[in-house]
A and B are shown apart, each in its own frame.
Chain A
Amino acid sequence: MLLITCPWCGPRAESEFTCGGEADIARPLHPETLTDEAWGEYLFMRRNTRGLHREQWHHSFGCRRWFVVERDTVTYEVRAVDGPTPAAGSAR
C-alpha cells in the first residue's frame, strides 16, 4: 500500500485515496469545434507510461482535494506531489 503525501493533510495510506488517472489532460475549451478524432483523443487516449507518470489523486476519505502525484509506475516510488492540476488555468 502506497504512502501518499496529501498536500493538505500530510502522509497518508493509499486506502484513503482514489486514483483519477493521467494528469494534465485539459478539457478542450471549445469541444464543438473539434473533429471526432481530436475529441476521441481527449476522451480515450492515455499514455500508459512506463516510468515517471503524472497522475491525479483524490483524498477521498480525507480532505477531498484533488492533486497531482508524480509516481514511477515501475518502482511505485512517489517523486513529487503538486497541488490541484494547473491544466485548467493553462488551457484558458
Chain B
Amino acid sequence: MTQSHRLPQGGRIDRTRPLDFTFNGSRYQGYGGDTLASALLANGVHFVARSWKYHRPRGIVAAGVEEPNALVQLETGGRTIPNARATEIELYSGLEATSVNVEPNLERDRLRILQRLGRFIPAGFYYKTFMWPRRLWPQYEELIRQTAGLGRAPGLPDPDRYDKTYAHCDVLVVGAGPAGLAAAHSAARTSARVMLLDDLREPGGSLLSTHATIDGANAESWVSKIVAQLRACPDVTILGRTTVFGYHDHNLLTACERLTDHLPLDKRRGIRERQWKIRAKRVILATGAHERPIVFGNNDLPGIMLASAVSTYIRRYGVRPGSRAVVFTNNDSAYRAALDLKASAADVLVIDCRPARESTLQQQAREHGIEILHESVVLEADGKLRVQAVKVAHAHDASRSNRARTIDCDLVCVSGGWNPALHLFAQSGGTAQWKAESACFVPGASKQPERSIGAANGEPSLVAALRAGALAGAQAAEMTGYSVQHVPLWQTDASIDAPLVPLWITGERGRASRSAKQFVDFQNDVIAADIRLAAREGYASVEHMKRYTTLGLGTDQGKLGNINGMAILAEALGQAIPETGTTTFRPNYTPVSFGAYAGRELGDFFDPVRTTCIHAWHLERGAAFEDVGSWKRPHYYPRTGEDLHAAVSRECQTVRNAVGIFDASTLGKIDVQGRDAVALLDRVYTSSWTNLPIGKCRYGLMLDENGMVFDDGVTARLGAHHYLMSTTTGGAARVLSWMERWLQTEWPELKVYLTSVSEHFATFALAGPFARRVLQKVCDDIDLSPAAFPFMGVREATVAGVAARVMRISFSGELGYEVNVPANFGRAVWDALVAAGDEYGITPYGTEAMHVLRAEKGYIIVGQDTDGSVTPLDLGMQGFIARDKDFLGKRSLSRSDTAAHDRKQLVGLLADDASCVLREGSQIVNDATGRGATLPLGHVTSSYMSPTLGRSIALALVKRGRERTGEDVFVVLRGGATMRAKICSPVFYDPEGTRQRVE
C-alpha cells in the first residue's frame, strides 16, 4: 500500500529513510520521524481499534499522550507491550503491532454485536445484573473479562534491562515547549543547574507544528537556536523521550526516560528505560494543555479527531488525515487546523458555535476562502467504519434534530477548548481553580516550590507563554541563589482572539435511548447518558460518579474526557462546574513499566540469599534447604531413599544416642562491650546479670514494653566488661536496633558499644552423649571434664588449630557444646569435627531435627510458640524474671490484662491417636461436637512426630492451660472433625535435665 495520505512535502520526517512495519498483519511503509499513528494515517488507516465495552470501531483521535483509542499490542513474546499508544510509538524498521481487544480481528471482531445492545448495558449494569445467583459469579467474571479488556500482559520474562538514577538540580523544567524552553533558557543564563525534561523525541512542543514566528523567524529555527545555547551550558541537562510521571513530597519528581524504544529490535543495546528520581529546589511546570473534544452523537467514529492533532499530523508529519473536512469548534484555535487543511488542498468547512467576532484567525480563514457556519453545532456524526457525514443545526435550534442539515465529510476536527495539563501540579498538592473565561481548571496556589507557566497555566497565547517562561526561569534561579542580569524578551505576531464560548455537549439530553451515543470517555466507553444515570441514581459526588461509570479510570486516566464528564454531571445536577469539582489527579501521569520501577533489583539483587560458610558442604551432602529470613538453612540431610520423616527421625535418634552436628552460624551475635555492659543487659533482659561470673553463660528473654516476648538467646560473659549476646536467626537486626535505640534516646549515659558479629563467627552445635569425646579429639588445650567445664560454661580454646569460643550449652537436651570460630576458618573446623565424630557415628542434623529435639524438651521458638501477644508468665518462664530490678516490659507484666488468670498458657498436648501429628495452627475447643457457640481456647503452636517418644507431641497455647493439666480438649482437624488430646507438661523428655547437665 502506498502512503496515500502523505503530503508531497513538509513535516519533520526523513523521507530518505522509509521504514517498513506491520499492523494487524498487513505491511505498510512510513518514514523516519513518524509515529505509528502518523504512519498509519499516512497509509489511510484510521480504524485501528475496537472499544472496550461496546466493541465499536475507533480511530486515532489525538497526536500525543492523551490518545484514548489507538492502543496497540506492540511486538510479541517477552518484549510485548500492552496498550501502547500508537501516537507515542516512534516508528522503527520492522515494527509489529496489533489491535487490542479484538477476536479474531479488527474488522470481524465477534463482539461487535455489543454495539447494538448498548442500551441494555448502561453504567452499573454489572453490579445490577450479575448479582444472582451469587454462586455463578466466577463464571460471570470469566465471561466479562473475556468480553471487556485491552491488551494482554506479557507471558514471558522481560529480556530488557532497566535502571534507576538520582539527580539533584536548582531548577527543573518539565516540558520543552515554548514556555519551558524560555524558562530553561533564562534560568541557565544565571548558571543555575537546570534540568529540562520532555516526553518527545525532540524539544519544541507545540512549536513543532505551528506557523507562528518568534522575533520574525519561524518557530522551528528559534527552537534550534535556544536548544543549541542550552546544550552549550555545562550545568544544563536536557532529557528527551522522558516523561515526568510523578510529583511527590519535598519536590521529588519521578521521570521515565525511554532509551531504546525508537530503535529496531535488533539494534537495541543496553538499558531500555531509566527511572529518574529528581530532587529539585524549584520546579517549573510547562506541561502544556490538552485539547478537549465536544460531545455529540457518534462522536467516536474513526475520522473524528482533535483539531490540534490534525494540525500536528499535517505540519509535523506531512500527513493529511482527510480531504473533506469539517472543523467543529467553540474557540479560535481550531481555525489553525482549518488553515493547515486548506493549505494542504483539502475542502474545509468550519462549524463555529459562536457568532462572528473580530478575530485574526477567523479573518485569515475567510481570506483563504474557508466557509464558516457561525452559531452552528454538529449534532451527530454518521458512518460505519469511518465518518461519512455530520448533522449540523443552528446553535439555538439544536434540540430539534429534524431541522438539521447533513454535510458529507471524511474528517471532523473538533475543539472544545483546552485543558491545562494540571496533573503534576495537582500531584504536588495544589488545588485547581476554575477559570471561567477559558472554561478550564488552572493551577491555584502552590503547595510546593513550583510554578506552572504557559498553556499549563491557562495562558494560551505564544507571546504570554514566552514571557511567563523567561520570567519564571529567572525567578526560580534567583530563589536558588543565582543573580539575574537580564531577562530575555521575545516578540511574536500580534493577534486578536475571539473569546471561547463554553460548549460541552450538543443534541439530546435524554436517557440512554436509541439515539446516537454521545461519548465522553472513549477508552472506557462512558457516554453522557451514563453520567446522567449516575446523577439520577444518587451518585452526585464527582468521585462517586467516576467510580460508578468508570469515567477516567482507563489507562489514559481521562485526559480527554474528564472535564467534559464533570461539566455534564454539573449540568445534570444543576450546579456550576467549580461546585462539582474535579476528581483527584494521582500519580502516574502515564503508565510506567514494572521494569522502570524494578531497575536492577531483580532476583538475587532484590532478595539477597544469605548462606553460611558451610553452605557448600551442605550442598555436597544433598541437604534439603529451608528459608529462614533471607538465610538458606539445611532443613534435613536425606540419605538415599529417605524422606523428610525418615531423615529427621534418624537425625534425632543419632543426637539422642550418639552425636550430631548442627550449623547454627545463622544465629544473631552481638558483641557487647563497655563499662555499663551489664547495666544494659539488666535493662533489656528479664533475668539478672550482675552475678554472672566471667566464663559463664545465661539464657535471656527479651520483652517489648508491653511485656511480650520478642527475642531470646544465650549471652556469655567473656570478660569484666565484655559479653557475647546471641539472638534468634530472624531477630538479629531487630534486637541490635532495639538496644541501639534505647541507648541513644533514653540511656545515653550508659557506656556500651554494640557490634554485630553475626557473620563474623561460624557457630556449630555438637550435641549428643559423645559430644565431649568428639570435641576432645580436636581440642586439647582446655579441660573438658564436667567439673572443669560445667554446663553453661564458656571457654576460650583452640579447636582444630583455630582460636575458638566454646560454650557448653544445649538446645537439644543432650550434652552439648557450641563452637564459635572466625567464619573464614569455619569450614576447616567443621570438617575436623565431622572427621573426629566419624568413629562415633556423627550425623549432621538440620533445622527440622533441631525443632523436634527442642520441642521434646519444651523449649520455645520465639515467633513460633509466641506471636507478640505472649508474656513469659504465659510460657511458664517466671523463673527467668528477676524480682529485684526493672527491665523493659516488666511493669506491663502486672497490668490487669497481662496478669489475668484466664490467659492462654503454653502446655503440651498428646493426641489420643499417637500417630496423628496435629496441624500447627489448629484451633483447640472444649466440645467434640463443634455444636453451639464453641469458643476457641487456643491453638497448636508446634507439632511433630517424636522419634524419641515414638509418638506425636505438640505444644499449644491454651486458656488456663496449666491448671487444666491432665484434662482433655479437642483439636479441630481439617474438614471439621476433632481429635481428643490430653493437656500435659510441655517438657516431654528428661524433665530433670540430667542429660544435658551430665556430670
Contact = CB atoms under 8 A, between A and B. Distances in A.
A10 B166 CA distance: 16
Contacts of B746: 26-27, 87-88
Nearest to A42: B705
A60 interface: yes
B249 interface: yes
Nearest to B736: A64
Contact of A3 (B250, B447, B705): B250
Given A43-B705, A43-B706, A76-B249, A87 B745 contact: yes
Contacts of B447: 75
Contact of A20 (B705, B741, B747): B741
A85 to B, nearest CB: 5
A85 B745 contact: yes
A69 B794 CA distance: 44
Contacts of B740: 64
B513 interface: no
Contact of A32 (B251, B741, B744, B886): B886
Interface in A64-92: 64-66, 75-76, 78, 84-85, 87-89, 92
B277 to A, nearest CB: 8
Contacts of A84: 744-745, 748
B895 A56 contact: no
Interface residues of A, number: 31
A34 interface: yes
B250 A76 contact: yes
Nearest to B707: A43
B706 A3 contact: no
B892 A43 contact: yes
A76 B748 CA distance: 29
A62 B545 CA distance: 46
A40 to B, nearest CB: 7
Interface string B743-757: 011111100000000
Nearest to A18: B737
A34 B749 CA distance: 24
B702 to A, nearest CB: 16
B748 A89 contact: yes
Nearest to B740: A64
B785 interface: no
A1 B252 contact: yes
Contact of A39 (B248, B249, B251, B895): B895
B886 A88 contact: no
Contact of B745 (A3, A14, A88, A92): A88
A37 to B, nearest CB: 10
Interface string A32-58: 101010011001000000000000101
A2 interface: yes
B249 A34 contact: no
Contact of A2 (B166, B249, B896): B249
B279 interface: yes
- Interface-central residue, B741, B745, B747, by most chain A CB under 10 Å: B745
Contacts of A2: 249-250
Contacts of B486: none
B403 interface: no
Contacts of B252: 1, 3, 13
Contacts of A88: 745-749
A40 B895 contact: yes
Interface string B877-898: 0000000001000111001100
Contacts of A60: 737
Nearest to A33: B891
A32 B745 contact: no
Contacts of B749: 88, 92
Contacts of B890: 31-32
Interface residues of B, number: 27
- Interface-central residue, A20, A56, A88, by most chain B CB under 10 Å: A88
A87 to B, nearest CB: 7
Contacts of B744: 65-66, 84
A12 to B, nearest CB: 10
A14 B746 CA distance: 24
A39 B886 CA distance: 14
Interface in B32-66: none
A76 B277 CA distance: 19
Interface in A10-24: 13-14, 20
Nearest to A89: B748
B248 A36 contact: no
B891 A31 contact: yes
Nearest to B166: A13
A66 to B, nearest CB: 5
A36 B892 CA distance: 8
A65 to B, nearest CB: 7
A77 to B, nearest CB: 9
A53 B251 CA distance: 21
Interface in B216-255: 248-252
B886 A1 contact: no
A40 B747 CA distance: 21
Interface in B248-272: 248-252
- Interface-central residue, A14, A40, A43, A92, by most chain B CB under 10 Å: A43
B896 A36 contact: yes
A58 B886 contact: no
Nearest to A34: B891
B748 A58 contact: no
A64 to B, nearest CB: 6
Contacts of A13: 166, 252, 277, 279
Contacts of A65: 744
A32 B745 CA distance: 21
Contacts of A36: 895-896
Nearest to A31: B891
Contacts of B891: 31-32, 34, 39
Contacts of A43: 705-706, 892
A88 B748 CA distance: 8
Nearest to B742: A27
B745 A39 contact: no
A66 B250 contact: no
B956 to A, nearest CB: 28
B745 A56 contact: yes
Contact of A1 (B248, B429, B741): B248
A31 B886 contact: yes
A64 B736 CA distance: 11
Contacts of B248: 1
Nearest to B704: A43
Nearest to B447: A75
Contacts of A76: 249-250
- Interface-central residue, A1, A2, A58, A92, by most chain B CB under 10 Å: A1
Nearest to B252: A1
A43 B249 CA distance: 31
Contacts of A92: 749
Nearest to A15: B277
Contacts of A64: 740
Interface string B687-706: 00000000000000000011
Contacts of B895: 36, 39-40
Contacts of B251: 3
Contacts of A14: 249
28 contacts: A1-B252, A2-B250, A3-B252, A13-B166, A13-B279, A31-B886, A31-B890, A31-B891, A32-B886, A32-B890, A36-B895, A36-B896, A39-B891, A39-B892, A40-B895, A43-B892, A56-B745, A58-B737, A60-B737, A64-B740, A65-B744, A66-B741, A84-B744, A87-B745, A87-B746, A88-B745, A88-B746, A88-B748
> 3 smallest A-B Cβ distances: which pairs?
A31-B891, A3-B250, A88-B746
Interface of B: 166, 248-252, 277, 279, 429, 447, 705-706, 737, 740-741, 744-749, 886, 890-892, 895-896
Given A32-B886, A39-B895, 19 more contacts: A1-B248, A1-B249, A1-B250, A2-B250, A3-B252, A31-B891, A36-B896, A39-B891, A40-B895, A43-B892, A58-B737, A64-B740, A65-B744, A66-B741, A66-B745, A75-B429, A84-B744, A84-B745, A88-B745
